[in-house]
Amino acid sequence: MTDEIVSVIGGKQTSGASGDVYESVNPARLDEVVARVRLADAETFSSACRTAAAAQAEWAAVPAPVRGRVIASVGRLVEANAETLARLVTREIGKPYAEALGEVREIVDTCDFFLGEGRRLYGQTVPSEMSDKSLFTFRVPVGVATVITAGNFPVAVPSWYLVPALLAGNAVVWKPAEYAAASAHALYRLFAAAGLPDGVLNLVLTDGATAYRGLETALGEGTVHKVGFTGSTEVGRRIGELCGRHLQSPCLELGGKNPMVVMPDADLDLAVEGALFAGFGTAGQRCTSLGTVIAHESVREEFLTRYTRAVADAVVGDPAGDVLCGPLLDEKFAARFEEYLGWIEPHHTVVSGPTGRITPDNPRGSFTGEGGLYYHPVVVDGVRPGDRLFLEETFGPIVGVTGFTTLEEAIGLANRPGYGLSSSIYTTDPKSAFRFRSGIGAGMVSVNNSTSGAEAHLPFGGNGKSGNGSRQSGVWVLDQFTRWQALNWDYSGKLQKAQMDVAEI
Ligand code: UN1
């Protein structure tokens, strides 16, 4: 019998009124239900926001270094349970085990960083233009943060929101993706076990449309002060519009069409390795996955030869084993990926062999799985601006390749899709690397490394269709979960007027 999991609000298991049950299925074995998820209704979502709002002031009154110690406990609990959590992630969303373990490590790294931040959370002292007057700034928590996350990084990406939001003294309502609900529930339990007071972190299991309605109500009631969202550009736009109506600016981490430029002086084997990991790790379902390789015409043929060989040799199969590429996340993502395969145009050349679902009738040599949502990794040569495959995110194992002759042309091509999350250049010439950095519109640039693989303490985030410029990770994310408060302290004993009573020398 598979366990049923439910929302947890104010420390209490809450089924919510909708009664609908979603089955979270192992994408590697479609007959295995990982969890039965009782979906909450919109009222349950908005009531979780009220519960969080009621609990927040008391949490904010806990000294930040003590909140930091709770975060450190979360990190220790996650570390102690790393393998169990990673195995669950692999089972629920089909992420290869080594990557799942890396994802869990990313939570520990985030907790390590924010333990220290609990003892900093610095404000500033600012000089005044008047005598006997001091100016200060303080970071204050925003209040309640609602966090809505995707399931491709079911535990690490949520921790990027939860950890800094809680450390800064906010209460949180977290709505994970239904198809990753068991992983989310397991992570929630580790947070709760670290000693967070009831109501400070609430988990609402529901679908996106219901959460949107609950959020609409909560924003109207004034119980949500910041929304964090990781997911598609399309949904991010709707959330941005909703928050805008309430004069709020959400933290949006959206899609990507991440380019990799290969210069004539690049180490081609290194570039191939990077393109393999970025294109097909997590089955191409990262927001930082490689979209298009932009290879200099002098090395394009050679790159393609080596890349297609590497892709042919890559192991696709059971994510519990040592594979590069497991199954797609769930049926919905698989159906969408099949649609994207329809974007391959007659003028493109598929250089990687067969496409589509791997089945006994459409086999793959080194395939090690069976019966799951496995797809052939696809490399397409000849994509150009104007092609959907060049312009739009595909969220699956498909990489386009195109050519260029000058670096300026390559930068133009890299920026053309209008996303701006991650990017990479392979070159041995620092001048090309720095010119690329200054010309690219992406929030993240790698030199001689893949578009994926952000570290937990560098600003993570994008521009354009990838987000609204908000940044996660490191100290930068604190700007999302705190507001600056200015303090003016006049001890002169008289009314000193700014701009009018400037001290003279
Ligand atoms: C995402 O896909 O939403 O840099 C985040 C990376 C990962 C995070 C991806 N650490 O690829």
> Which tens digits make up the pLDDT trace of 303-346?
999 999 999 999 999 999 999 999 999 999 999 999 999 999 99
pLDDT-derived band at 2 (thresholds 50, 70, 90) equals: low
Among the listed residues 99, 103, 117, 253, the single catalytic one is 253
- Cβ 424 vs Cβ 411: under 8 Å: no
Residue ranges covered by each domain of the chain: 4-255+466-487, 258-447
The fold of 258-447 is Aldehyde Dehydrogenase; Chain A, domain 2 (3.40.309)
230, 288, 446, 450: which to mutate for ligand 1, most atoms within 8 A of CB?
288
pTM across the whole model: 0.97
pLDDT in tens, 40-59: 999 999 999 999 999 999 99
Tokens of 291: 């979209």
User: Which residues lie with the beta carbon below 6 Å from any ligand 1 atom?
Assistant: 152-153, 157, 230, 286-288, 452-454
Does 258-447 match 4-255+466-487 at the fold level? no
Residue 265: how many CA atoms within 13 Å on its side-chain side? 10
For 201, phi then psi, to 5°, come to -130, 125
DSSP state of 200: S
Q: How many helices (H) and strands (E) does the chain have?
A: 15, 20
Residue 253 annotated among the catalytic residues of the structure = yes
Residue whose token pair is 């040799």 = 313
Q: Helices marked H in 174-223 — which ranges?
A: 181-193, 208-221
Instruction: Give pairs for 74-78: CB < 8 Å, separation 24+.
Output: 74/107, 74/111, 74/163, 74/190, 74/191, 74/194, 75/107, 75/108, 75/110, 75/111, 75/112, 75/115, 77/190, 77/193, 77/194, 78/104, 78/107, 78/108, 78/111, 78/187, 78/190
Identity (one letter) of the amino acid at 261? V
**Topology at the third CATH level for domain 4-255+466-487:** Aldehyde Dehydrogenase; Chain A, domain 1 (3.40.605)
Task: Report the complex ipTM.
Answer: 0.94
Q: Over 80: is that where the pLDDT of 462 sits?
A: yes
pLDDT digits (tens, 9 = 90+) for 376-412: 999 999 999 999 999 999 999 999 999 999 999 999 9
Distance of CA 146 to the CA centre of its chain: 15
